[in-house]
Amino acid sequence: MRESFEKFERLDFKVVVVAPANRDQIQEFLNVHGPFPFEIYGDPELDLYEEMGNHHMTTVKSMLSVGADLLKGEVKISDIVPKDKTERKHFLSAVKNQDVNIQGSSWLFDQNGDVLWKHIDDAPEDHAKVDEVLNQLRK
């Protein structure tokens, strides 16, 4: 999203990110991966995630999904666990301290807050693609 931010600005849309994390976890993320050209807000209690209808995988289902992808050769451990020491430390902290089984979603709202479009992820690999979101914005 960071790499495509200017495309959203040109279409006069504001990007807002909500993460299943608290302020300290978000700050740690920003320290490791930042800066970002948009605000990242936290929803550590998952109130908004649940209200928006996001899916929650069980830990077992999540592990089976990742394991299947590893066995099929679709991903490698190095795709999941960062090689960089600082990034790896942050990744392991997130796995330990955040709900990494909650699936995300992408939403487009008009100026009145009405939903124009949404994509609710069914699995970790089911994120809406940036081009798909941009195509929806152009409609």
pLDDT in tens, the chain (139 residues): 889 999 999 998 899 999 999 999 999 999 999 899 999 999 999 999 999 999 888 778 877 887 888 889 888 888 788 888 988 888 888 877 777 778 899 999 998 999 999 999 988 778 899 999 999 998 8
Q: Look up the pTM and report it.
A: 0.77
Do the Cβ atoms of 138 and 11 come closer than 8 Å?
yes
